[in-house]
Amino acid sequence: MTHRMTHRIGIDVGGTFTDLFFWSQDRAPETFKVLSTPDDPSRGVLEGMRAIAEAHDLTLEELAAETGLVVHGTTVTTNACLTRGGASTGLITTPGVRDALEMRRGIRERQYDNRYTNVVPLVPRHLRLPVGGRLDAGGNELEPLNPDEVREAAALFRAEGGEAIAVCLMHSYADDRHERAVAELLRAELPDAWLSISSEVLPTIRFYERVSTTVTNAYVGPILRSYLAALGSKLAGIGFEGVLLIMQSNGGVALPDVVRDRPATTLLSGPAGGPRAAATYAGALGRDDCLLVDMGGTSFDASLVREGAAALGSGGELDRIRIALPMLDIATIGAGGGSVGWIDAGGLLRMGPQSAGAMPGPACYGRGGERPTCTDADLVLGYLDPDWFAGGKLPLFAERATAAIREHVAGPLEISEEEAAAGMYTVINTNMAHGVREITIKRGLDPREFPMVVAGGAGALHACAIAAELEIPSIIVPPTASTLCATGMLLCDLQHDFVRSCLGSLEALDLADLSSIVDELAAEGEGQLLREGAAETMHHVALDLRYLKQYHEVTVSIERGDLERGDLRAIAARFHQAHNRLYGYDLEEVGTGLELINVRVRSVGRSARPELPELPPGGAESDHALKGRRRAWLPARSRFGELPVYDGHALRPGNRLGGPALIERVDTTILVTTPFAAEVDPRGSVVLETGEASHA
Amino acid sequence: MPESRIDKILVSVLGRALKAIADEMSLTMEKTTRSPILCEAKDFVTGLYDAEGRMLEQTENLPILSFSLSPVCEHIARKFAGRIYPGDVFFHNDVFSLGNQNNDVAVFKPVFHGDRLVAWTAAKGHMADIGGAVRGGYNPNATEVWQEALRIPAVKVYERGELREDVWDLIFANIRLDIVQEDMRAEIGACTVGERRLLALIDKYGLDVFESHKWALFAATKKMMEAEIRIIPHGKYRGEATVYYDGKNPGSTYRIRVEVRVEDGGIVFDFSETDPQTNGFVNGTFTSSASACILTFLQMVNPDLPHNAGMTEPISMLIPEGTILNAAYPAATTFGNHLCPPLADSIIRALAPVIPERVTAGWNNLLCSLSTGDHPGRGEPYVDIMFMGLKGGSGATCDTDGYDHIGMIDASGGVLDQDYEMFEQMTPHRLIRHELLRDSAGPGRHRGGLGVETRYVVGSDDTQIVVFGDGDVEPAFGLEGGGDGTLNRIELRLPDGSVRVPTSKDLLTGIPKGTLYVQRAGGGGGFGDPKERPADRVRDEVRAGTLSVEAAREHYGVVVDPDTFELDTAATEGLRGRD
């Protein structure tokens, strides 16, 4: 890295907007937002970088040459799964078990809902092919692999245009020789196919989890590979020589090569940066826990930060597809600025989940969109300034918004356009409040105890309404709200999770063997982290342990020192404690022995993080920032009123103002409604409080 | 506390917080138990009850077990009134004091806030053994309860935190397998987790607020259930279903008869005209039948109702003692849980004509087996219920296909297959096949759920296989022109070339290693005329191999080329009688 490569850029590609966070040493960070280009998202990335370059009077090439790090979050794999738009994928498996993927152990998650239907599998049944060969539970060969059947399967995949192939054979966690042989044959037969081998993706016992994860990995592999190739060549084309890192679902970042080989680790790449940034802004206000709501153009994501860290999900599922890899706990619903308003068969007003996306976009963008969206409603309600959207770079056409609302909502309901817009505003807020319930109340947590950090361009217009519905007394709108996930990407650590099966009684274990496995995994992690330019590395070791004859494990963190000292007693004590804390009892006194199942290593690499700068304080007065008044809808009073409009960029830490009011920034507008009052914090966050202490 | 002090958001938070606790207790059971019946299949339930035993919330992996917890909790609270202390732990399985099945052994733990009894936590699971004449508990030859199981009326195994070792030893001296002790410890652990979480919740909001909002939650839930019932027109509706073979008299049949009476905001299920009890083990208990009734009705209402005392208040049931659904002391009753499918059929048949949009066609009935023996590799006994084999398809609704491989209605997809690799680790058997079963779904505009075929090679000599269930005589029924599903069948192909087909209630002993076990679980019933099913969906199923070319033509009038899987549009239109 040359001394001139001082810039860092976080890039979050969403369904509608591509967000960028630009940070350069000794300068205040800046945010940028451009429209996404769904046909080739890497084009939007370049457009975004061009916007940064222009703002700094640089050419794109000059910016690229001075940039040392680009961290990128992408939704290409997520969308491929959700829309079933992934690669044409085949599965090679053991005879007799090809339906495990589809049958999902026979679960119906909603037991009393007879309209809840089976999940459509990522690989259709006629492309799930058995090949002869069998190992037993100890990894011993019962029947040799039948190479002819592998070749026949390859021929069928070729004929069907298969792009990716997953290989998952019974007991391959115990011995991977059959899977390796299948992989070799497939590489010879179908050199262009993208292969996902279960003993590489997830070498642990439990066939269903392994086959589901391996298949998902295959399904999104070719898409991620071609996307990363396109992105890499575009960046190289403008002379970028710095490090490109990709956001992973576990909240860490990694090199493109690394995620390209394990594409299933990017399934929540897009929103995974947000919680880190939310934790940083809330932490600056002394809050260790917070709720993050991110309202983009297409989707609304809600997640939780507990004790300063993003909450990891226990389920490991995406849209009912099991993915047995560490993933953040993020609830996503189809609600955003582009959500379309429509009237259902029963005559009720609905919002989304369809979105107008970036193209054609909301009607008011004037790009051919004719359906009324949330953004159109926000414009008609006076919340957006048609001449100052995106700082004036994207003029809005109010008459088109009104016309679309008239035709599709107000007309059918026989109400005024403004009433219809107010209805659209209320309905989408209710939908988003439901998303917040998913992540809090459904888990038995009271949302009122968490300050709500608001992200996304449209989020701050709707935050007070969502908070009011859930009685959340405190809202934080960070200065980088509209691009918070991109901000978070520059704050995340490099992180890699490794796991290896290692079955045996703990007492009889050869600690030297165990240590060498740990060393091997840690060395792999260290190697990856060094390639990624980590300044400081750490390797956290954990063991999956259980009592003899139990089927499930408890993951217990251990010190490498315990291993080196051979201190089994310390390891056992950690397990007994964890078992009691989680499950209400332990068998230390009964004297039940322990079994080891898996060894885990999480390798974490730190690199320099941007400091969020503190701004010079101002007084409580905010009149200096008042830039005018605008007619806008007052939800609490169900009528229009004249609202003061403040210039968000002129507000200083300590400035206070009461609701109702609008605070405009280039990339976001904050609607402050009663009973909320706003105050600017030292890092530029606008903090909205009702004045009520948090509920007991 | 006056209505005005009720915080409506807190009512929902509390409702969900209780559900989260019940779920965490369920997770504790899943993660810590040893028997695959519990940790793999999740044949257990967990719940929270107030001081008097009213249901606060439950996690109902197997709902047939779950609606007897509240009655037993009430029974214990009354019976031990004045003698319940912090740190107590009760066991219970007795079917003549409201238990549902002998093998389903419950733990109840009182929760004290300070010195006041405020609630109970409970966990109940199907134990791998419960004494009696047959390992694993299913004894088709039993005629009275003592031949089936050790009876455990409510008994304290811990008092004030102290283990009553003599009581513990007495119980486990009468149970064959050591893992049952471990699994009962897991149940106690689950109850302890529930107790910790519940106390934290009460401490957070205060006992008075907790209590007042509990009542508000009951009231709100009751109102929701009443509104659901009001959708059904007032009236009396009758339905019937048949139970085939009592395990003793070949060809015997028994009728379940229900009259459903819908009144203002309330519903009554009256089984007074049901046939008398059998002299075998094919008998229900009051709570197994009541659970069957509730869980069937819950599938006809809003699936998102909270589960608490308010939910069940508008539902009443008349299940007279002496009928096959509520056998009198000291009858054998181990089969009782499995009377749920025909009981459900009788209710569905009663209500299908009135609320066709809220019912399903018939579900595949349960036919199940349990294998026990000594694992040669591990040198210890094993007990395995063939969960993956028993799960057939559900009935279709008026606008959706049935659910493939869901299993009996009493579990409704809450009970899971064993994981294949864990199955081969923990039993000596080797899995040969577990696949969706072609042509098993009842045809229809919306087809029934598919059944499965399961094959495994028995891996221990002198293996005992108990078979229990039904569905080998009458298939899952179709509705409104939809066809029936297929029948259940189990057969054993012995190494000497002979084939044994067990009856639906049978005890097979001395099965040798190397025997091939073959089971077909049938599909669910279809809904509506199969000729109205879109031809391309039929074609897709032919290509997938879940529907044969012949069945596509015969039932759906769809002609598909067997080699290319192309749809023959002209021939199809000819068969379907369209222009």
What DSSP line would sit under A460-524, residue for residue?
A: HHHHHHHHHHHT--EEEE-TTGGGHHHHHHTTPPEEEEEEEEEEEESTT--HHHHHHHHHHHHHH
Q: Any CB–CB contact under 8 A between B506 and chain A?
A: no
Q: Which of residues 196-225 of B touch A (CB under 8 A)?
A: 196, 201, 204-206
Per the CB < 8 A criterion, the answer to whether A461 and A686 are in contact is no
What residues does each domain of chain B span? 3-221, 360-531, 535-576
CA distance B244 to chain A (A): 26
Determine contact, residues A274/A292, Cβ cutoff 8 Å.
yes
Task: Using an 8 Å CB-CB cutoff, list chain A residues near B20.
Answer: 442-444
Mean pLDDT over A618-645 rounds to 93
User: In angstroms, rounded to a whole number, what is the distance separating the alpha carbons of residues B570 and B30?
Assistant: 54
DSSP character at residue A585: -
A588: Cα separation from own chain's centroid: 40
Q: Give the SS3 label for residue B519.
A: strand
Widest distance between CA atoms in chain A: 82
pLDDT of amino acid A346: 63
Quick check: B267 and B315 in contact, CB under 8 A? yes
Distance in angstroms between the alpha carbons of the first and the last residue of chain B: 70
Contact assessment for residue B100 and residue B292, using Cβ atoms and an 8 Å cutoff: no
Give the per-residue SS3 of B366-379. Answer: CEEEEEEEEECCCC
The angle, 0 to 180 degrees and rounded to 10, between the axes of the packed helices A417-439 and A398-405 is 80
Mean pLDDT of A307-322: 80
Give A21's strand partners.
Answer: A10, A31
For B414, the closest of A111, A470, A587 (CB atoms) is: A111
Residue B533 reports pLDDT greater than 70: yes
A15: helix, coil or strand? coil
- Give the C-alpha distances (Å, rounded to integers) separating A138 from A205, B120, B423: 11, 44, 13
pLDDT in tens, A404-438: 999 999 999 899 999 999 999 998 998 898 888 87
Q: Is residue A580 part of a domain?
A: yes
- Give the C-alpha separation, B419 to B409, whole Å: 21
At B416-453, the pLDDT tens digits run 999 999 999 989 999 999 999 999 999 999 999 999 99
Give the CATH number, domain containing residue A550. 3.30.1490
Q: Which residue of A has its CA nearest to B12?
A: A441
CA A31 – CA B216 distance, rounded (Å): 48
Q: Is the pLDDT of residue A696 over 50?
A: no
List the Cα angle B378/B383/B389 in 5-degree steps. 115
Domain range for A538 is: 496-606
Residue A499 or residue B393, greater confidence: B393
pLDDT tens column, A358-380: 778 999 999 999 999 999 999 99
Contact A640, A382 (CB under 8 A): yes
Asked if the C-beta of B19 comes within 8 angstroms of chain A's C-beta atoms, the answer is: yes
| Residue for token pair 């059959």 | A178
Percentage of residues in chain B with pLDDT exceeding 70? 99
pLDDT at A352 over 70: yes
Alpha helices in B333-440 (DSSP H): 340-351, 387-390, 420-426
Task: Choose among A106, A118, A550: nearest Cβ to B32.
Answer: A550
Query: What is chain B's Cα-based Rg?
Result: 24
Paired with B90 in beta bridges are B108, B156
B205 neighbors B29 (Cβ within 8 angstroms): no
pLDDT of residue B2 exceeding 50 = no
Which of A105, A209, A444 lies at the smallest CB-CB distance from B416?
A105
- Pairwise CB contact (< 8 Å): B16 & A137: no
CA distances from A141 to A136, B139, B149, B156, B459 (A): 6, 38, 42, 51, 17
Nearest alpha carbon to residue A47 among A667, A257, A38: A38
**What single string gives the DSSP state of each residue in A99-130?**
THHHHGGG--SSTT-TT-PPPPPSS-GGGEEE
Distances (CA, A) of A13 to A339, A352, B465, B472: 18, 20, 58, 56
Average pLDDT over residues A318-341: 88
Q: Are strands B116-126 and B104-113 parallel, antiparallel or unpaired?
A: antiparallel
Q: What is the dihedral of CA A120, B19, B58, B417, to 10 degrees?
A: 30
pLDDT at A314 over 70: no
Domain count, chain A: 1
User: How much of chain A exceeds pLDDT 70, in percent?
Assistant: 98
**CA–CA distance, A245 with A99 (Å, rounded to integer):** 37
Condensed to tens digits (0 to 9), the pLDDT of residues B332-383 reads: 999 999 999 999 999 999 999 999 999 999 999 999 999 999 999 888 899 8
pLDDT tops 60 at residue A216: yes
Cross-chain CB nearest to B405 (options A106, A207, A208): A106
Mean pLDDT of B242-255: 95
What is the reported pLDDT for A360? Answer: 87
3-state secondary structure of B327: coil
> 3-class SS at B112?
strand
According to DSSP, the residues that pair with B162 across neighbouring strands are: B159
**Tell me, what's the pLDDT at A694?**
37
For an interface test with B, give the residue of A104, A108, A136, A579 to mutate (most B CBs within 10 A).
A108
pLDDT at A684 over 80: yes
Selected residue with higher pLDDT from B54 and A509: B54
**Residues A178-189, mean pLDDT to the nearest whole number:** 98
The pLDDT score that the predictor gives to residue A1 is 40
In A, minimum Cα distance to B412 occurs at A111
Total CB pairs under 8 A between chain A and B: 194
Q: pLDDT band at residue A127, thresholds of 50, 70 and 90?
A: very high
Residues of A in contact with B21 (CB under 8 A): 444
- Chain B residues lying within 8 Å of A585, measured CB to CB: 185-186, 188-189, 192
Please report, for residues A111, B23, B344, B393, B398, the alpha-carbon distance to residue A107 in angstroms, rounded to integers and kept in the order given: 9, 16, 20, 12, 22
Which DSSP category does A387 fall into? T
Two structure tokens written together for B194: 């529930």
Give the 3-state secondary structure of residue B255: strand
Question: Are residues A342 and A362 in contact, defined by beta-carbon separation less than 8 angstroms?
Answer: no
Backbone angles phi, psi at A172, to 5 degrees: -70, -15
Query: Alpha carbon of A265 to those of A73, B87, B350: distances in Å?
Result: 12, 45, 51
Which of B30, B403, B438, B519 is the best substitution to test chain A (most A C-beta atoms within 10 A)? B403
| CA-closest candidate to residue B385, choices B477, B291, B465, B499 | B465
User: Could you tell me which residues come within 8 angstroms of residue B387 by beta carbon, excluding any fewer than 6 positions away?
Assistant: A106, B37, B40, B41, B43, B407, B415, B416, B417, B418
Measured at the alpha carbon of residue B229, what is the angle toward residues A347 and B212, in degrees to the nearest 5? 100
Instruction: List C-alpha distances in Å: B398 to B232, B342, B359.
Output: 17, 21, 8
Min mean pLDDT across A431-435, A600-604, B165-169, B571-575 is at A431-435
Q: Which residues of A touch B33 (CB under 8 A)?
A: 550-551
Closest CA to A90 of A167, A152, A188: A167
pLDDT tens profile B36-93 = 899 988 999 999 999 999 999 999 999 999 999 999 999 999 999 999 999 999 999 9
ipTM (interface predicted TM): 0.94
Helix A417-439 and helix A459-470, axial crossing angle in degrees, nearest 10: 70
CA distances from A610 to A8, A490, A511, A529 (A): 9, 7, 41, 19
Beta partners for A656? A679
Chain A nearest C-alpha distance from B501 (Å): 22
Q: How confident is the model at residue A315 (pLDDT cuts 50, 70, 90)?
A: low
Q: What is the mean pLDDT of residues B184-211?
A: 94
Encoding tokens for residue A379? 């414009």
Indicate whether A693 pLDDT > 60: no
